[in-house]
Structure 1
Amino acid sequence: MRLVISEKNIAAKKLADILAVGKSTADKVYSTPVYRFRRDGDEWVSIGLKGHIIGVDFPDEFSKWRLEDLTEMVGADLVEEPAEKGIIQSLRSLAKKATHVVVATDYDREGELIGADAANVVLAVNPALPVTRVRYSAFTREEIERAFAQNAPIDQALADAGASRRDIDLVWGAVLTRYLTITSNKAAKRAWGDVLSAGRVQTPALKLIVDREREREAFTPENYWVVKGGFEAEGTAFDAVHETARFSSAEDAQRVLDAVEGHSLAEVLSLVTKQRTVKPPAPFNTTSLLMAGAAEGLSPSRTMRIAESLYMDGLISYPRVDNTVYPKSLDLKALLRTLKKVGPYQEYAAELLSKPNLAPTRGQKEATDHPPIHPTGVADPDKMKPENYKVYNLVARRFMATLSDPAVLESAKAILQVAGEKFVARGDVTVTPGFRAIYPFGQKKSEQLPLLTEGGSCGFTGANLDAKQTQPPDRFTQGRLIQEMEKRGLGTKATRHEIIQTLYDRKYITNDPAEPTCKGRSVIDALVLRARQITDAEMTAELEREMDEIANARSTRSKVVGHSRRMLGEVMAVLLDSVAEVGEALKAAADEDAKVGKCPQSGDDLLIKYSPKTRAFFVGCQGYPDCSVTFPLPKNAKFASVDEACAVCGSPQVKVIQFRRPVRVMCLSPDCSTKKGPEIEVGKCPSCGGTLRVRYSQVGTRFVRCEKYDSETHPISYPLPQTGELEPTDEICEPCMAPKVIVHTKKGPWKICIDPNCAQRTEPKTRSRKGKKSK
């Protein structure tokens, strides 16, 4: 029996479907899905992992978070342990009957490590088993058949490079995260609070954002003035800018306006036209795809998830690549014939196929592991999610653009004179669209000048003065941050989007373009204060280069990991001598982030706080214990401060973020009318016959309560759905005698018994996470 090991269950099934002679059969070995099929007269079994099945961690003696352990943790031996016990059990069982093992995990550092770990599990049971490695870049029949026809060994150097990254990132991340978290909690005199994470790549990436924000804050804008003139020729209006593009003095600019006032004609002093070519773009690699996705409104992490899904569906090639040069083995015309079957691309693909020779563009990075990202399958736009088609469309059009002719543009520059003052008008016209006909993304908007004659005249309709200021450097968009990280050697093609998402998840940055939060700035400031080297890109880039040396068999895992531990040890020696100083800096920033307004009683700051006793968040006065003012917050939610006070009562507000509910802004005042709704009568109490009314808690949560409510003798109260308009009915639920109400939601009306414990209560039909309708 031949055993095929891939990285995920979906990959295992696809490989089985492609390789099988006939149909594959789904089965299970213990609890792990496998796919059995026959090929070349042999029995084959395809099994998918769940990523890493072997993990590493610190020994149990370091399970508690203590400052005194951190120095020892830097040099501690890591312990390998099973991460997926069920899959390991299944592999061991299959190894007993296997005659050959084929490792078919993704071909990159992480995939090689995953495959090597799985092979070691199998070989521990059956040491004589031959193990071969297959490498492919697309889930197409042609590509998979080619890969399985070639035998190669596991690249142990590549796997060691992946293991080195895993070890280094664990040690650095764990030690620095524990240091920051413990130090912050110690300064705040609390047993536990938010985890403040740091990492070998995460921290320098955050510093890029913080440094850019500081540049913006330090920037001093300068005033300047621009004089624009309005012109007209052949019935077409167009603008021109005075030859002095920026006036440093408003008076000088005003003199130009005064000089041209009252004139209605302009002389065309000169008209220069010239043609220029715009080259087609280079093929997509991971970085350029993520940037293109960001320009279309998709975050890098979302673009990558979609790209991975399209890859698994056989629609595009492997999306984690550095390469920007198509290999000679890639059949470009076959790919065009595939795209010719997709409606929106039929005509253009046919045009490219009619060319006698295809001359694709080349980027600056060439690698041999995977080709650049390109389409591999026929997509049906009508059957795809819009955002999935958006990414496929980018890939398909970019591929065709790389095989297209350059665009030819004609640029025109006219010098116009009014009362001795010269104005410059510019315009572009497309002579030959070339690649732009299929790839319109990223083009600057240009205007075409009307027909002008040198030495002739045109109409002048007046001039105006625009007061402007020089602008600070732009914040990093997620796409630009990906590019900057690549430029500085931070992370890899497979990890950069994950690092950015981590910064958002940790609340170190917000918005897009990215702005650092007080928490994010405090982490950088605290580390720069005593350990600047771990916030700079150079040290991380150096380790990346060393891991490349491992992959190329020019260095070893033990050498590089040992060097990284020595670097971290030097850093920690300094940081552990600065616990109080670093802790105070972190505490001050945490307090700043938690501010929501001023206390109505003491005037001190109100802060979002957490009570370990009640396990709930609340807003309390910073002046406690001298001031005991508090405000409750909803349970099972996350919170963020809001700059604006309540428009109704002037009290501070907080942003409330709850799972599967719209984000809302809540006034803190329990008496504010924004928290109150109509106290609708919904019926009679089934216990006493009293009136049941809709009421509202201090945090704005609505519920139904009997008018004779008493927490001890008559605790009749019912929760309600928190969204949707309520409408009472005259109906009574017979089993429990509670009244029924109608909740009007976006999906339509929903009639329910208000008693949540009623056996006949029905919930609205929604889709569960598995995509099945719940009843």
Structure 2
Amino acid sequence: MSKILCVAEKPSIAKAVAEHLAGQRPNSRRTGANYVMNYDFSFSFDPPWGNCSVTMTSVIGHLHSQDFVQEYRGWKSCPPSALFEAPIENSVDDKKKAIAENIGKEARHAKALFIWTDCDREGEYIGSEVSRIALRANPNLEVKRAKFSNIERAHVFRAARNPIHLDERLVDAVAARIELDLRIGASFTRLQTLNLQPLGPELQNVISYGSCQFPTLGFVVDRYFRIRNFVPETFWYIRVTHLRDDISVNFSWRRVHLFDRMAVTILFERCITSHTAKVTKVQTKPTSKWRPLPLTTVELQKLGSRLLGMDSQRVMKVAEELYTKGFISYPRTETDQFDRGIDLRALIEKQTMDGSWGAYAQGLLEGNFRQPRAGRNNDQAHPPIHPVSYASGNALATNEHRRVYEFVVRRFLACCSEDAKGEVTTIEIELGDENFHARGLLVRERNYLDVYPYERWDSSQHLPNFTVGEQFVPSEAIMLEGQTGPPGYLTEPELIALMDANGIGTDATMAEHIAKIREREYVMCRPRSEAARNGDNNERAVGGGRGGRGMRETGSRGGGGRRDRNAMLEFIPSTLGVALVEGYNNMGFEPSLTKPFLRKEMELKMKAICEGRKSGSDVVQESLGQYREVFTTTSRKIDVLKTASATPSNPNGFTTISTKSSPYHFVHATLPPTH
């Protein structure tokens, strides 16, 4: 009987796959590596392998590490610029040697190597690392890989009986990215650290650079400067109110508002002079609120941060743990469309036993099911994130696991539902030469909203009957004054959206880059403050209308979203973070290291490697050439960066906040109330 060696990316995946293929608890053997076990069983593969003896084992992420050869590793061993060409060696990480030895030992007597790493770029590269180690022990091995997106039993069997080849283009792309990140990151990090550390004791930590890390910091600092430089502007507008059938209807001005007080005053006086309003349009028509698209990694991170009170890195960690337990599909995907071949009804049926959403799931099976909407993205590797099996509350380890699992399930059920339906009534009136309108919504069918409480769509106040052509004297016409308000600090969902739109990192790494700028203390996080949520929104009445009077109104912005935003974190740059961005921006070169353009171009080149349009070596040389030019400019103008770091920007009107855990200060703007 031939032996097949199977290698997964994580011990939990190896255990789950082995148990499925063995059909019972497989025999287990200890290895020399902590947490890694070997599982022995028999399985009948499709030809040409047939019935085989199988050993399933695993790695724990990457096996190899890349570093410069020894003579270049010292901080002062060479000029930082030399790292663009310094020799690099690729070796098994010291902590992973026992894992590598286990793979080599098991491969010696195997006929084939069957790789079960995650089906993405990193998984493909880890598979190639496993392959290199196994082939050194047994050059005659046949190498295959399993294509799978979840560890449901039927899915695992399909993957086992339909092996594919490793995609060397993906391997080449990751190899190129690793080399670029090492050379660019090490050269700029040494340049920054060696030049800035002598400036003071508070700069003794490593001042690291990363080609994704700095643009991410740049977004945070850019928003800080927009707040700091914000100048409020006063505007004026007109509102008309009419009381009918005990319902007070507010008509909004079509011009919204103007920044010219005199112009608004003249228009307002014409309204007052005309006395009578005329109804020019009454329209009622059906409307819908679309059900959400299938769930991608970026959306999971954004919504997890906004709705679940967890940072994006924690959301992804919990989602990966749910995946390894077999509860949800692979949580790293760009795809927002379900393949027609996926049996969605079978997945829905597994959720019918739940006490909270089981009845709703049953209703979908009994006639309410709709094929999910198809988005524009398909990475050709994984389906959207969805539940694979039912998990009772007791089966989930923590409250965080329960919240993430519930969100994934409810999102999936909502995708398979009908859009919410309602009617919208619009009434338009003319007063003088000005036009005003009122709008009312009546929700007729909630549909997906019954299972997806994360979105709101409520009926507004019922509008009384109006007839086209009728005339009436408004109960009140009023001219109001307001002020524009500054933007808020970037929240995590906003930062992730900016990174996604600008090609900074991948769906799998965005949370890591955000965590890195926090770890380096370039930014701090805090819950969005109550003041920032509410604003002051006082409106001063300038005049009254027929039957009306002057008044002061107090309100708050965005009433419907307040509960969701309570848990959101906002990012505030440290003085060091501001200094680094200011320093690079003051050097006057384009594109700046704190802008997304260089990294976005690099990510596009990685995609070109994956699609076979470029080679990895060509991309490495092109990208190193671009960054070498920027490095040369930075070296020549390093005094600009030193000046910014020695005297960080802290203009009047801004507060510095010191924290016990950090030697740096964090800055925030003290601004006029938001109106």
Task: Please indicate the TM-score interval, normalised by the length of the shorter structure.
Answer: 0.7 to 0.9
Aligned to 1:535: 594
Aligned to 2:256: 245
Letter in 2 for 1:66: K
2:359 aligned to which of 325, 332, 347: 347
**Are 2:380 and 1:368 aligned?**
yes
Q: Compute the displacement of 1:474 (Å).
A: 4.9
Aligned to 2:112: 100
Contact 1:62/1:69 (<8 A) preserved = no
Aligned to 2:315: 303
Q: CA separation of 1:480/1:192 partners in 2, compared to 1, >3 Å: closer, same or farther?
A: closer
What aligned pairs does 1:499-648 form with structure 2 within 5 A after superposition? 499-511=513-525, 512-530=569-587, 531-533=589-591, 534-589=593-648, 637-638=661-662, 641=665
Letter in 1 for 2:584: L
Aligned to 2:228: 217
Contact 2:202/2:663 (<8 A) preserved = no
Aligned to 1:285: 296
Q: CA separation of 1:521/1:87 partners in 2, compared to 1, >3 Å: closer, same or farther?
A: same
Deviations 1:598-640 (A, max 9, x none): xxxxxxxxx98xxxxxxxxxxxxxxxxxxxxxxxx98xx5456
Contact 2:575/2:665 (<8 A) preserved = no
Letter in 2 for 1:439: Y
**Range that drifts further, 88-97 or 109-118:** 88-97
**Are 2:159 and 1:147 aligned?**
yes
**Are 2:183 and 1:171 aligned?**
yes
Contact 1:57/1:78 (<8 A) preserved = yes
Aligned to 2:60: 50
**Are 2:417 and 1:407 aligned?**
no
Q: Compute the displacement of 1:74 (Å).
A: 0.9
Contact 2:236/2:261 (<8 A) preserved = yes
1:23 aligned to which of 25, 31, 54: 25
Q: Compute the displacement of 1:20 (Å).
A: 1.5
Distance in 2, Cα, partners of 1:449 & 1:115:
61
Deviations 1:424-449 (A, max 9, x none): 32221112334333334344666232
Contact 2:238/2:252 (<8 A) preserved = yes
Q: Compute the displacement of 1:642 (Å).
A: 8.0
Contact 2:28/2:40 (<8 A) preserved = no
What aligned pairs does 1:163-202 form with structure 2 within 5 A after superposition? 163-188=175-200, 193-202=204-213
Q: Secondary structure at the match of 2:288?
A: strand
Q: Compute the displacement of 1:370 (Å).
A: 0.9
Distance in 2, Cα, partners of 1:44 & 1:342:
37
Q: Compute the displacement of 1:101 (Å).
A: 1.8
Q: Compute the displacement of 1:641 (Å).
A: 4.7
**Range that drifts further, 124-133 or 535-544:** 535-544
2:168 aligned to which of 156, 176, 182: 156
Distance in 2, Cα, partners of 1:643 & 1:292:
27
* More helix by percentage: 2
**Are 2:400 and 1:387 aligned?**
yes
Deviations 1:654-698 (A, max 9, x none): xxxxxxxxxxxxxxxxxxxxxxxxxxxxxxxxxxxxxxxxxxxxx
Distance in 1, Cα, partners of 2:156 & 2:290:
34
Q: Compute the displacement of 1:480 (Å).
A: 2.2
Q: Which runs of 5+ in 2 are unaligned?
A: 44-50, 526-568, 669-675
2:501 aligned to which of 487, 491, 494: 487
Deviations 1:540-559 (A, max 9, x none): 12211221122223322222
Q: Compute the displacement of 1:222 (Å).
A: 1.3
**Are 2:86 and 1:76 aligned?**
yes
Distance in 1, Cα, partners of 2:645 & 2:181:
23
Aligned to 2:39: 36
Distance in 2, Cα, partners of 1:111 & 1:495:
13
Q: CA separation of 1:462/1:640 partners in 2, compared to 1, >3 Å: closer, same or farther?
A: farther
Q: Compute the displacement of 1:312 (Å).
A: 1.2
Contact 1:136/1:147 (<8 A) preserved = yes
Letter in 2 for 1:56: Q
Q: Compute the displacement of 1:414 (Å).
A: 2.7
Letter in 2 for 1:173: G
Q: Compute the displacement of 1:277 (Å).
A: 2.9
What aligned pairs does 1:708-727 form with structure 2 within 5 A after superposition? none
Q: CA separation of 1:513/1:467 partners in 2, compared to 1, >3 Å: closer, same or farther?
A: farther
**Are 2:145 and 1:133 aligned?**
yes
RMSD of aligned residue pairs (Cα, Å) = 3.5
**Range that drifts further, 340-349 or 146-155:** 340-349
TM-score, normalising length: structure 1: 0.71
Of structures 1 and 2, the one with the larger relative CO (CA 8 A, separation 6+) is 2
Give 1 or 2 for the bigger CA radius of gyration.
1
Letter in 2 for 1:2: I
Q: Secondary structure at the match of 1:388?
A: helix
Letter in 1 for 2:85: G
Q: CA separation of 1:638/1:256 partners in 2, compared to 1, >3 Å: closer, same or farther?
A: same
Q: Secondary structure at the match of 2:287?
A: strand
How many residue pairs match? The answer is 606
Q: CA separation of 1:248/1:642 partners in 2, compared to 1, >3 Å: closer, same or farther?
A: closer
Q: Compute the displacement of 1:143 (Å).
A: 0.8
Q: CA separation of 1:244/1:371 partners in 2, compared to 1, >3 Å: closer, same or farther?
A: closer
Q: CA separation of 1:221/1:643 partners in 2, compared to 1, >3 Å: closer, same or farther?
A: closer
Aligned to 2:125: 113
Contact 1:183/1:582 (<8 A) preserved = no
Contact 2:372/2:416 (<8 A) preserved = yes
Contact 2:368/2:417 (<8 A) preserved = no
Identical-pair percentage = 26
Q: Compute the displacement of 1:55 (Å).
A: 0.8
Q: CA separation of 1:232/1:304 partners in 2, compared to 1, >3 Å: closer, same or farther?
A: farther
Q: CA separation of 1:357/1:193 partners in 2, compared to 1, >3 Å: closer, same or farther?
A: closer
Aligned to 1:321: 333
Q: Which 4+ residue blocks in structure 1 deviate beyond 6 angstroms?
A: 251-261, 264-269, 416-422, 455-461
Deviations 1:491-512 (A, max 9, x none): 1111112112212222222333
Q: CA separation of 1:539/1:419 partners in 2, compared to 1, >3 Å: closer, same or farther?
A: closer
Q: Compute the displacement of 1:321 (Å).
A: 0.8
Letter in 2 for 1:81: S
Distance in 2, Cα, partners of 1:639 & 1:459:
65
Distance in 1, Cα, partners of 2:368 & 2:246:
45
Q: Compute the displacement of 1:113 (Å).
A: 0.8
Q: Compute the displacement of 1:408 (Å).
A: 2.3
Q: CA separation of 1:434/1:357 partners in 2, compared to 1, >3 Å: closer, same or farther?
A: closer
1:276 aligned to which of 287, 299, 310: 287
Q: Which runs of 5+ in 1 are unaligned?
A: 598-606, 609-632, 645-775
Contact 1:233/1:450 (<8 A) preserved = no
Aligned to 1:762: none
Q: Compute the displacement of 1:421 (Å).
A: 8.6
**Range that drifts further, 474-483 or 496-505:** 474-483
2:75 aligned to which of 52, 65, 83: 65
Q: Compute the displacement of 1:234 (Å).
A: 4.2
Contact 2:247/2:464 (<8 A) preserved = no
Letter in 2 for 1:562: Q
Deviations 1:708-736 (A, max 9, x none): xxxxxxxxxxxxxxxxxxxxxxxxxxxxx
Q: Compute the displacement of 1:133 (Å).
A: 0.5
Q: Secondary structure at the match of 1:343?
A: coil
Q: CA separation of 1:250/1:580 partners in 2, compared to 1, >3 Å: closer, same or farther?
A: closer
TM-score, normalising length: structure 2: 0.81
